[in-house]
Structure 1
Amino acid sequence: MGIDLPLAWAVIILFAVMMYVVMDGFDLGIGLLFPFIRDRGDRDVMVNTVAPVWDGNETWLVLGGAGLLAAFPTAYALVLQTLSVPIVLMLIGLVFRGVAFEFRFKAPPAARGRWDLAFWGGSIVATFFQGIILGAFLDGVVVSGGRTVSGMPWLSPFPVFAGAGLLVGYGLLGATWLLMKTDGRVRTRCAAIARPLAWALLGVLLVISVWTPLSHPRIAERWFSYPNLLWFAPVPLLVGVALWRLQAALGREAGAAPFLWTLLLVFLGYSGLGISLWPFVVPPDLTIWEAAGPQQSLGFTLVGALLVIPVILTYTGWSYWVFRGRVRAGEGYH
C-alpha cells in the first residue's frame, strides 16, 4: 500500500504551523508586553531571553509557506489571491519587529524609545494579521462556490475577533515565557499580567466555540454528531483543567509550569481549529486531495522535507538547551 502523499504533506504543514505558533508566539508576545514594562533595563532583559533564538523560530513559518507551495499549489494561489493584504501586512510587521530587535540595542538613548515603539507596533501588526488569516480560514472566506471571494472578506467580524484573540494568546505565551526565564521585577510584573490574560484567553476560546458552530452548520454537525461528540467532549474539560492548573502555578514560584499549561491551552485551541477545517485546505470547498500537486512532485519534495525537518529540530533543540536558564540584568545566562 502506497503512502497518501497529500495526507503526509498536510500533517507536515500542520506541524510546522503549530511549531511556529508556539515558538514565535512567545517571541511576539514579549513585544506585545512592552507597554506594561516601562523600565528600559527590564525591557532589555525581556528581549535578551529570546535574542539567541528568535530568528530561528521563524524557520517554521518559512517551512509552512514553502510546503503549501510545493504540495498544494492551487491552495497557495487561492490563499495569496484572497488574503494577499493581511499576508503582506503580517510580513511588514515581522520586518519592523526584526529590524527594531537589532537596532534598539545599537541606538543612542534618545532614539531607543522609537525603536521600542517599532518593536511593539511590529509585534501587534504581525500578531493581529496572523489571527485574521486563521480566522478567515475558519470562516471559509477564501473560497465560496469554487471561486475566490472578491473584496476584503477577511475584515468581517469573525476574522477580526480571531486577530484580537491571538493578541491575547501570544501575550499570555510571552508573559509565561518571561516567568520561566526571568526573576525580580520582570517576573513579578509578568505574573500580575498573566492572570487576567489567562481569563481573557478562556473567554476568547468560549466565544469562538459558540460562534463557529452557530455560523457554520457543517462544523456544528462535525462537532455534535455521534460518535464525534464522544471524542470531542473531553476537550472542554481539558481546557478547564489547564486553566485551573495555570492559575494555581501563577501563585507560586513554579518555574516552567505556567508556560507548559499555556502551551496546552494553545494546543487545545489549535487542535479545535484543525478538527473544524479537516480535510479542507481551502474551506469550504477544496480538500487536500483536490488541491494537491502531481504525485511525482509530492514524493520528491517529501524526501527533502523528511531530511530537513530533523535538522531543524536538532539545531532548535540544541539552541534552547545551550541558552537555558534565567536571564538577569547586566548578566548572561545562568
Structure 2
Amino acid sequence: MTVDPTLAVIWACILAIGFLIYVVLDGFDLGIGMLFGVADSEHDRRVMMNSVAPIWDGNETWLILGGAGLFAAFPVVYASLLPALYLPVIIMLMALIMRGVAFEFRYKATGGYRTIWDLGFVLGSGVASFCQGAALGTLMQGLPIENGQYAGGPFIWFNAFSLYCGFGLMAGYMLLGATWLVLKTEGGLQEWSYRRIRPLMIVVSLFLLVGVLWMLIDYSHMGQRWWRNPEFLLLPLGGLVAAWLLWRSVDRRQELMPFWAAAAGFGLAFVALAFSFWPYVIPPSVTIYDAASVSAAQTFMLHGMAILLPIVLIYTCFVYWIFRGKATAEIEYD
C-alpha cells in the first residue's frame, strides 16, 4: 500500500475548490434564508425565494461532491471527523432537509400555515449555517487523534471558539445573501438589500478580526506558518481591497460588483485558512499524506473526477446563465 504525494496534493486541491464553491454558492442562498425572516412584506419574501428557486438545490451538489470525495480520497479524515462532529453534521443535515421542505410547501400553504413554513425556512437556513461554522471552528482548534483514530468526546465542538465561528459564518452568509439580492432584485427590495450590506460588512469584519487574534493567541499551531512566511500577508491585503470595492460599490449603486467583491473576500479567507492548515488536514497531527488513500484508488477516482467535475461546472454555469436577470414575485416556484 503506497501513497503518492502528488496525487494527495491534487486531491486536496480538488476538494478545497469544491468546498469553496459550495461555501460561496450555497452561502448566499442560506444567507437569503436568514434575511427572509426580516423582510418587509410578503411581496419581498416571494421575490427573495424566487431569486434562488431555480438554483438552490443545485448549489448543494457541491457539498455532496466534497463529502463523497473526502470519503474516497482521504478516508482517515472522514473516519476522524465524523465521530467528532457527528452531532453538528446531523443537525445541519436535518436543518437542510427542513429548509428544503419549507421551500416546497410555503408556496402551497395559506394563512397561518405559510407562517410555519416561513419559520422553518429561516430556522433551517440559520441552523445549517451555524453548524457549518461550528464544525470549522472545531477543526481549526485541532482534534485529538491517537493511532489514527479520534480520541475525544462527542461534544468537543461545543466550546466558545466553535460557537463564535458559527455565529461569524452566519453573518458572512447574510452578507453574501444581501449582495445576491442586490444583483437579482430591483426597486424597494434592492434598496433594502443595499442598506444591509455595510452593517453586515462591519459585523463580519469584526468577527474576522477578533477570530484571527483569538486563533493566534490560543491556537498557535494555526499561526506558525504566517510567522514563517510573511508573504502570506498579501492575502489579508487582498481582503482589504475586496472590502474597499464592496464598500464603494454600495455608494455607486453597482449591482454585480457587491457580489463579486464579497465572494472574493470569502475566497481569500478560505485560501488563508488553507495556508494556515497546510500540510495538515486535521491539525495538529494528521497531514494530507497520512490521511490519503492508496495511490491506485486515488488514480482510479481521478479519472472519474476528470469527467464528472467539468460536467458539474458546465451545468452550474449553464443554469446560472439561463436564469440570469431579475427575479419577480410573479414567477411561481414549482
Q: Which TM-score applies when normalising by structure 1?
A: 0.94
What does residue 133 of structure 1 align with? 135
Distance 1:142 1:269, change over 3 A: farther
Q: Contact 1:133–1:154 at 8 Å: present in 2 too?
A: yes
Aligned with 2:173 (options 170, 177, 187): 170
Q: Which residue of 1 aligns with 2:218?
A: 215
Q: How does 1:1-334 map to 2 (within 5 A)?
A: 4-141=6-143, 143=145, 147-225=150-228, 228-229=229-230, 231-330=231-330
Check whether the contact 1:20–1:60 (CA below 8 A) recurs between aligned residues: yes
CA distance in 2, matches of 1:208, 1:223: 15
Equivalent pair of 2:86/2:154 in contact (CA under 8 Å): no
Q: Would you say the 8 A contact 1:171–1:197 is kept in 2?
A: yes
The answer as to whether partners of 1:83 and 1:142 remain within 8 angstroms in 2 is: no
- Provide the rounded CA distance (Å) in 2 between the counterparts of 1:331 and 1:50: 12
1:58-85 Cα deviation digits (max 9, x unpaired)? 0100011000110111110111111100
How far apart, CA to CA, are the structure 2 residues paired with 1:144 and 1:182? 52
2:5–2:289 CA contact under 8 A, matched in 1: no
Structure 2 CA distance for aligned equivalents of residues 145 and 223 of structure 1: 29
Given that 2:136 and 2:162 are in contact with CA atoms closer than 8 Å, whether structure 1 keeps it comes out as: yes
Identical aligned residues as a percent: 42
Whole-Å Cα distance in 1 between the matches of residues 65 and 86 of structure 2?
18
* Partner Cα separation in structure 2 for residue 142 and residue 251 of structure 1: 48
Q: Is the 8 A contact 1:176 1:258 kept in 2?
A: yes
Answer yes or no: is the 8 Å Cα contact 1:143–1:284 preserved in 2.
no
d(CA) in 2 for partners of 1:311, 1:142: 38
Runs of 4+ in 1 over 6 A off after TM superposition: none
Q: Indicate the SS of the match to 2:54.
A: coil
Question: How far apart are the structure 2 equivalents of 1:198 and 1:143?
Answer: 37
The gaps in structure 1 that reach 5 residues or longer are: none
CA positional deviation for 1:298: 0.9
SS at the partner of 1:281? Answer: strand
Q: CA deviation at 1:22?
A: 0.5
| 8 Å contact kept, 1:81–1:148 | no
CA shift for structure 1 position 329 = 2.6
Conserved in 1, the CA contact under 8 Å of 2:87 and 2:154? no
Task: Give me the whole-angstrom Cα distance separating, in 2, the residues matched to 1:249 and 1:104.
Answer: 34
Residues 9 and 71 in structure 1, CA contact (< 8 A), matched pair in contact too? yes
On the 8 A contact 1:205/1:269 being kept in 2, the answer is no
Which has the larger displacement, 137-146 or 298-307?
Answer: 137-146
1:154 partner SS = coil
SS at match of 2:253: coil
- 1:179 and 1:322 map into 2 onto residues whose CA distance is 19
Distance 1:64-1:331 versus aligned 2 partners, 3 A rule: closer
User: What residue identity is the alignment partner of 1:11?
Assistant: C
Of residues 39-48 and 247-256 in structure 1, the stretch that sits farther from structure 2 once superposed is: 247-256
8 Å contact kept, 1:93–1:122: yes
Number of positions where the alignment pairs a residue of Structure 1 with one of Structure 2: 328
- Residue 38 of structure 1: CA displacement? 3.3
What TM-score does the superposition give when structure 2 sets the normalisation length?
0.94
Q: Is the 8 A contact 1:143 1:283 kept in 2?
A: no
Aligned to 2:106, what secondary structure does the other structure show?
A: helix
CA distance in 2, matches of 1:261, 1:270: 14
Relative to structure 1, is the Cα distance of residues 143 and 162 closer, same or farther in structure 2, using a 3 angstrom cutoff?
farther
* Deviation of the 1:3 alpha carbon: 7.5
Q: Residue 145 of structure 1: CA displacement?
A: 8.3
Do the aligned partners of 2:37 and 2:118 also contact (CA within 8 Å) in 1?
no
**SS of the counterpart of 2:270?**
helix
Q: What is the RMSD of the two structures over their aligned residues, measured on CA atoms?
A: 1.6
Q: Distance in 1 between matches of 2:68 and 2:182?
A: 34
Distance in 2, matches of 1:202 and 1:315, equals: 34
Alpha-carbon shift at residue 185 of structure 1 (Å): 1.5
Task: After TM superposition, give the deviation of residue 302 of structure 1 in Å.
Answer: 1.1
Contact 2:250 2:258 in 1 (8 A): yes
**Shift in Å at residue 221 of structure 1?**
2.1
Query: For residues 242 and 315 of structure 2, what CA distance do their matches in structure 1 show?
Result: 30
State the distance in 2 between where 1:220 and 1:253 align. 38
Q: How far did 1:237 drift?
A: 2.1
Q: Is the 8 A contact 2:221 2:284 kept in 1?
A: no
Contact 1:182/1:326 (8 A) holds in 2: yes
